[in-house]
A and B are shown apart, each in its own frame.
Chain A
Amino acid sequence: MSRHPTFPQDARLQSVEGRRTTRQLAVRLAADIPDGWFVNIGIGKPTILADVVEPEREIVFHSENGIIGVGPFAQGSAQDEDLINASKDPITVVKGAAFVHHCDSFALIRGGHLDLAVMGAFQVAENGDFANWSIPGTMIPAIGGAMDLASGAKHIWIMMDLFDRAGVSKLCEDCTYPLTARRVVERVYTDLAIFDISATGVVVRELVAGLTLEELQSWLPVEVRMESSH
């Protein structure tokens, strides 16, 4: 089904009462990660997850550069140039952490040993395709670990703003940018809503305060429906 959305004015977006900042979104996403999961946090917004999670939660964060057990950001004299996350920010490690070299780190990824990877994206399609490495003609392409994570982690969640800087929905019918992987995204956490990508279409798990399904739908090129109550 092809829809013709009216993308929101920036002023309207800014005025949505419950619109989440990146940090608020990270807190919300972290609440959905089960205890005991091993979770890769990718470059950009997802690396904030290890800084916001409550210390008593035993979620083990993996960074592609060989860290199992990423802790909060390192401050001041605790910063170490050899201890950084995927975004290249200085971090700490938690008790129980381990360092491995790059091959072992990616063996963990491809070998199916991670429960979840949280990544950023330029576009997510309603069938679970996603694109996050190249926008031809505008930037130098950069893949990083995204394709390995997409092929190996048990679950793939995306964390992103719902609209790009031009105000166009990043949730789309089909990705127009080069794909990272096909049909792997299960859930999309955005500043305005949380979506499940299901076999029967895109389901809104949660809307932020101040936004109705009708208004959200009017902005989106894909049809969405609310999760049916049980």
Chain B
Amino acid sequence: MIEKQVPSLAEAIDGIRSGDTVLVSGFGDSGSPVELLEALLDSDIGELTIVANNAGSGNGGIAALLRARRVRKVVCSYPRSKGSVWLERRYLANEVELEVIPQGTLTERIRAAGAGIGGFFTSTGVGSELAAGRETRMIEGREYLFELPLFGDVALIKAHRCDRWGNLVYHASGRNFGPTMAAAAQLTIAQVSEVVPLGSIDPEAVVTPGVLVDRVVKVMKCEE
């Protein structure tokens, strides 16, 4: 019997270690696994490398981890969001390392990791300072940069609905990095707002198949 659901957030994050590279889904607050990040905050895990599109805003989620000095490095595409106070503060004080990557390159590097691809060539970034000193190649008359896969020890993702096999369905643009990150980590943990009986998700509608998901935990959907 396959049972991916665990009863608590503490059990969901069991096994995450200090120093891990954690892939975190989300674009702004959409698709952000806020409750899982809060569970990390409640633990004593630190020295994390966070890979995400943004670097948190306000005081919740990734921002709370930065505030509590649990983060060693942030790899992201767009850290300059409204209210991204804690990243700015830690970065300007040299307390956090920051690596900024074009968004499409970020997501494709994660995809490569999950898909067994040893790297790829992209034209994104050609002509910018990001191309300095990089391996390039001319293909059909166009210049490309070589990019490596980006693996996670852990992926924390937010989906909308799942079954006990860990098949996931997302909600609207909350899908964003979830399906890609689920494949790229040693341990993939999904928080969902709804768990339904096996067989009640139409196979045509499954976005992330359970084979990519290790644990799911149900969280209360916050109502306005």
Instruction: Give A residues with C-beta under 8 Å from B.
Output: 43, 63-67, 77, 80-84, 88, 93, 99-103, 106, 109-110, 133, 139-148, 150-152, 178-182
Given contact pairs A82-B174, A146-B102, A103 touches B30 in the complex (Cβ within 8 A): no
Inter-subunit contact A64/B103 (CB<8 Å): yes
Inter-subunit contact A103/B172 (CB<8 Å): no
Residues of the A chain whose Cβ atoms lie less than 8 Å from the Cβ of B68 = none
Given contact pairs A88-B82, A142-B100, A101 touches B30 in the complex (Cβ within 8 A): no
What does DSSP make chain A's interface, helix, strand, loop or mixed? Answer: loop
Inter-subunit contact A143/B77 (CB<8 Å): yes
6 contacts between A and B (CB under 8 A): A82-B174, A93-B172, A102-B53, A106-B108, A110-B123, A148-B103
Least Cβ distance of B130 to chain A in Å? 7
Inter-subunit contact B177/A140 (CB<8 Å): no
- CB under 8 Å from chain A, chain B span 66-113: 77-82, 84, 87-88, 91, 98, 100-105, 107-108, 110-111
Residues of the A chain whose Cβ atoms lie less than 8 Å from the Cβ of B224 = 77
In the assembly, what is the distance between CA of A148 and CA of B89, in Å? 28
Least Cβ distance of B73 to chain A in Å? 14
Instruction: Give B residues with C-beta under 8 Å from A.
Output: 27-31, 53, 77-82, 84, 87-88, 91, 98, 100-105, 107-108, 110-111, 122-130, 170-180, 207, 224
In the assembly, what is the distance between CA of A49 and CA of B148, in Å? 36
Given contacts A66-B173, A141-B79, 15 further A-B contacts (CB under 8 A): A81-B29, A83-B172, A84-B29, A99-B172, A101-B180, A102-B53, A140-B84, A141-B100, A143-B77, A145-B103, A146-B102, A147-B124, A148-B104, A151-B122, A152-B123
In the assembly, what is the distance between CA of A101 and CA of B157, in Å? 13
Inter-subunit contact B28/A143 (CB<8 Å): no
In the assembly, what is the distance between CA of A105 and CA of B110, in Å? 14
Least Cβ distance of B81 to chain A in Å? 7
In the assembly, what is the distance between CA of A151 and CA of B124, in Å? 6
Inter-subunit contact A66/B176 (CB<8 Å): yes
